[in-house]
Amino acid sequence: MSGLVLGVESVPDGLASGLLAGVNPVAGLYAYMFGMAGAALFTSTAFMAVQGTGAMAIIIADVDLASRDDPIRALYTLSILTGVVMILAGLLRLGTFLRFVSNSVMTGFISAVGVNIVLGQLDDFTGYTSSGSNRVTRALDLVLHFWQVEIATVTVGVVTIALILLLQRTVLGALGLVVAVFAGSAVAAVFAAFDRDIALVADIATVPGGLPAPTLPVLADVPALIVPAISLAFVGLIQGAGVSAGFPNEDGSPTNESQDFVAQGAGNVAAGLFQGMPVGGSMSASSLMVAAGARTRQAAFVSAAVMAVVIIVFGGVIEQIAMPSLAGLLIVVGIGTVRVHKIISVFKTGAVPLTAMSITFVLTLVIPLQFSVLVGVGISVILFVVQQSSRLVTKQVVFHDDGRIEEVDPPAVVPADSVVVLHPYGSLFFATASKLREQMPTVTPESRRSVVILRVRGADDAGATLLDMLKAYAASLQSVGSKLVIVTDNTRVIRQLRVTGAAESIAEHDVYRSTRFLGESSRQAYDDATNWVAAQSAAAADRPGSGAPGDDGGRAT
């Protein structure tokens, strides 16, 4: 039953996806059928339905396939190439890198995709062929020529939308989409009887009465399609990861994002070989499959079989579907893609996430999506660096005689004859080096015979910028007879201090390796520093001519 529901619903949905992508709508049908079956063989998430998605369709529409020698086979090549990228990502276990794409960037991207879906259907929805360099300018052109819309076409689209919203709330549920599209097409047939012709699927495509034969890719098109394939793979994997997280296996077996990457790749290869467009993990299709009662992955295979029967037996009926009805379906999908509550959540989070979301949203509207996806990844990385650098907080650790340890704000300057233990909280890397330096106490000519102990924990790699800062700070302490001591739990950082010349300012015996007992090395370093300060102060007091008894103000040794 689950496969029957999803299979029937996927027929108009597949046609609409192909329409949204600007390709032969039949390519959407084949992509749904073969992509879903091919991926179901390998998914670790039993209820993952791999179909076309709105975001991926928009990217395909922005790829200039018409410029290729054979645009139709170029589409199939793009599907196979996208699948290869996904399979490689899964085999290399790149699922962990998805966490670097911030929620604010993805919210801006998905929201803009929803707007693009709506704007991209206005021509079919109104019957007016607009002009412009992108969807926004074409929508403005429509507004400026609103009197040229075809009332009959708009009526069919509005009736379809109204029926979708109404029937989805009835016992029909998801099947209400199918009923609404066919009901809207029936209204179009009534208009046609009164000589008010409305565009049909048959006007742009012929649904064959059989299944497609395998088609090989065009290798010459691969270099031109690499960037779109990477963008499609990235979006598909992001959405697939959401499906993996949202639909755990009923038997309790764990899901594996990297394995699901491979499965989506297999689905794309199958779709491309059998004349389909690129596909990815679909949250809506997976939700429908589960809501209809799926218990195992067999539902995906039944769904594909149902689609095959519909295509073979009812191909002529599919050709009579009205284009404004499909446009109305996609407009509903596009509006549903814009998650207002997520936008509000990002808005409340702060200026940096809001800026990232806004920039991604605007770029996605005005530039081709295959490039806006890559820009979004870049913004995510920059946002990650900015957030990590702004979160660094340095505290002074104070050891009390009764054994208690207190954290306070560090002093503004390094006091004389003192031991200052500093512990920075946050990531230590090149972007936080200057932030750490700002939070460390300033070295003045009065900061004599003191020790600053810096606890460097959790740093995998100090980096040249951070090492240069530590060497400069150690040198400034050394110039007034004080010194810097490092306590770290990482042998790599210790090795970097040795090989980069830091020993000139930080002696090897002043670098302490942390043990598995918390605070043990820091306490040892503190005790050694306290004894060193006491010895230096006593030596200074014994020298004649000092500011204090015996202190000549000279450099300690």
Query: Is 29 strand, coil or helix?
Result: helix
> Token match 């509006």: residue?
335
362, 431: one domain: no
What does the alpha-carbon distance between residue 419 and residue 441 come to, in Å, rounded to a whole number? 12
What does the alpha-carbon distance between residue 51 and residue 277 come to, in Å, rounded to a whole number? 10
What does the alpha-carbon distance between residue 333 and residue 20 come to, in Å, rounded to a whole number? 11
Residue 158 domain flag: no
What does the alpha-carbon distance between residue 550 and residue 557 come to, in Å, rounded to a whole number? 15
Determine phi and psi for 276, rounding to 5 degrees: -115, 165
345, 406: one domain: no
364, 496: one domain: no
What does the alpha-carbon distance between residue 344 and residue 334 come to, in Å, rounded to a whole number? 18
Q: Which of 335, 358, 384 is the last residue of a domain?
A: 384
Residue 167 domain flag: no
Q: Which of 384, 401, 434 is the last residue of a domain?
A: 384
Q: State which H helix or E strand residue 488 sits in.
A: strand 483-488
261, 355: one domain: yes
The CATH number covering residue 443 comes to: 3.30.750.24
275, 312: one domain: yes
- Using left for φ > 0, alpha for ψ between -120 and 50, and beta otherwise, residue 183 falls in alpha
* Structure letter (DSSP) for residue 322: B
Per-residue pLDDT of the chain (557 residues; tens, 9 = 90+): 788 878 877 888 888 888 888 888 889 999 999 999 999 999 888 888 898 887 788 889 888 888 888 889 999 999 999 999 999 998 988 766 666 667 787 788 778 878 887 888 898 899 888 888 778 888 999 999 888 899 999 999 999 999 989 988 888 876 787 888 889 999 999 998 888 888 888 887 777 778 888 988 899 999 999 999 998 998 888 778 767 766 777 777 777 888 889 999 999 999 999 999 999 988 777 877 776 778 888 999 999 999 999 888 888 888 888 889 888 887 887 887 787 888 898 888 877 788 888 888 888 888 776 677 667 777 777 777 776 666 788 999 998 888 888 999 999 999 999 999 999 987 776 667 788 888 999 999 999 999 999 988 755 555 677 788 888 899 999 999 999 999 987 777 777 777 766 667 788 888 898 888 888 888 999 999 999 999 998 888 877 655 443 344 333 32
* Structure letter (DSSP) for residue 281: E
337, 424: one domain: no
What does the alpha-carbon distance between residue 7 and residue 409 come to, in Å, rounded to a whole number? 63
Nearest to 508 by CA among 486, 480, 488: 486
- Amino acid 463: pLDDT: 64
Cβ 272 vs Cβ 30: under 8 Å: no
369, 423: one domain: no
Tokens of 94: 């790149």
* Structure letter (DSSP) for residue 548: S
Q: Which domain holds residue 348?
A: 2-151+198-384
405, 374: one domain: no
Q: Are strands 451-456 and 50-51 parallel, antiparallel or unpaired?
A: unpaired
403, 364: one domain: no
349, 402: one domain: no
Residues paired with residue 200 on neighbouring β-strands, in sequence order = 322
Residue 156 domain flag: no
What does the alpha-carbon distance between residue 149 and residue 93 come to, in Å, rounded to a whole number? 51
Helix axes 103-120, 369-390, angle to 10 degrees: 160
Contacts of 19 (CB under 8 A, 6+ apart): 25, 28, 124, 323, 326, 327, 330
What does the alpha-carbon distance between residue 102 and residue 477 come to, in Å, rounded to a whole number? 40
21, 139: one domain: yes
Q: Is 438 exposed, middle or buried (0-12, 13-18, 19+ CB in 10 A)?
A: exposed
Q: State which H helix or E strand residue 309 sits in.
A: helix 298-313
- Split into its structural domains, the chain has a count of 2
- Amino acid 484: pLDDT: 93
331, 243: one domain: yes
Query: Is 199 strand, coil or helix?
Result: coil
Q: State which H helix or E strand residue 181 sits in.
A: helix 175-193
Residue 271 domain flag: yes
Contacts of 314 (CB under 8 A, 6+ apart): none
Residue 246 domain flag: yes
Q: Is 398 exposed, middle or buried (0-12, 13-18, 19+ CB in 10 A)?
A: middle
Residue 169 domain flag: no
Side-by-side strand order, sheet with 451-456: 405-408, 393-399, 419-425, 451-456, 483-488, 511-513
Residue 37 domain flag: yes
What does the alpha-carbon distance between residue 524 and residue 542 come to, in Å, rounded to a whole number? 27
Q: Which of 343, 365, 384 is the last residue of a domain?
A: 384
Residue 548 domain flag: no
- Amino acid 554: pLDDT: 35
DSSP string, 44-106: SSTT--EE--HHHHHHHHHS-GGGSSSHHHHHHHHHHHHHHHHHHHHHTTGGGGGGGS-HHHH
